[in-house]
Amino acid sequence: MAISTVLDHFRTVMQWATANDAEAQLDMRTFELRLQRQGAGFRLHPMFPARVGGQFVHSQVLTEHAVGFGGWLPYRPYTSRWSTDKLLFKRDAAAQGIRVPTQWKLGEQPDADFILKRSEGSFGYDISGPYQAGTPITDAVQPNLAAGRGQAFPEQFIAGRMAKIWFWGSQPFFAHVQDYPVVQADGVHTAIALAKARIAQDIGAAGLVSDEIVRSTLRFQSIDPDGVPENGRAFWIDFRYGRTFEDRRKSVDVNGLPDLLQSSSFQLNEMGEFAAQILQQTASVPLMCSVDAVVDAEQRLWWLEMNTNSILPHQGYELILSTLFELRADRSTAPS
């Protein structure tokens, strides 16, 4: 999961302010950041990833539940119909010719590998699977979907690399691409024991791990979770974004956008235009969003959902702040 450190945010804003002869003031009571340059000024609002009730959420206030700093944006959190309803996002994207996985109604039997999910939700929660094509959809295979927001539905499962791409208006500025977390069998320990040992490397896994997902993922690969796989066999244990289960203290986030632009520039551009178009119904100025996707073996992007309250990678400040100060301050009609 792409998380910039507090110093990344401070350092990047400081460098931009210095290079552009701007004044920056931080209110330590609210953590709001005020930037002024040549008579124009903007107030930027903070975001804090937090863990509440065992799950991750975003907060505008620094509370005891906060586990990190998510950056500053020139508006308060907003939502749109397309970020709230995954089915609406996919339907309208597909209508524009944008590649998305196939969806079925809950009463239909998928003819391809699939997962079960709900049309509302975030952070990779309210998902069940993956399941091989032909697996009957019964209450036994959807324990995590008995309750939750929105409509439950099957969706085509596309194996590949996990990706999240950030856009400012129509312009992509950061991409975080992750491989599935892979474990290698040693011929001694059970698959679930090896998976748990890998997960234990991640000090932040408590709000991200799902034993049901791990077991379903193993069964999808024809591996008995409680059996001992053949020595040397490699298998993956999750498919959701942010679940790499690595030591976060050693990880370094690299912007994967340049590589994606080489292989998938048309798809990135068409998604940027689509995202900017639908978000113009919320505000007439650029807004930030992120869009989750899968990168398949042929380097094609399969778009999954839009998020309008994502944390900001610090690499986005140059584009966002420069855009703001090229606009007149009185044109700021972003949601308040």
Mean pLDDT, contiguous 10-residue spans, the chain (336 residues): 79 93 92 91 86 68 75 89 92 96 89 90 77 79 58 92 95 94 95 93 75 93 96 94 73 79 93 94 88 94 93 93 70 44
pLDDT of 148? 61
Angle value at C-alpha 17, between 15 and 23, nearest 5 degrees? 145
Peptide bond into 258 cis (omega under 30): no
pLDDT of 65? 72
DSSP class of residue 103 equals B
pLDDT of 1? 53
Computed from CA positions of residues 187, 189, 194, 197, in that sequence, does the dihedral angle turn out positive or negative? Answer: negative
pLDDT of 123? 63
The b-or-e profile of 159-190 (16+ CB within 10 A means b, else e) is ebbbbbbbbbbbbbbbbbbbebbebebeeeeb
* Best CA proximity match to 169, nearest among 42, 330, 261, 278: 278
CA 294 to chain centre: 11
pLDDT of 327? 45
Angle value at C-alpha 206, between 255 and 135, nearest 5 degrees? 85
DSSP class of residue 144 equals G
The answer to whether 194 and 183 are in contact (CB under 8 A) is yes
Q: How far apart are CA 142 and CA 44, in angstroms?
A: 41
pLDDT of 334? 47
The answer to whether 189 and 235 are in contact (CB under 8 A) is no
- Structure token digits, residue 222: 């024809």
Residue in the structure block whose two tokens are 């009609």: 333
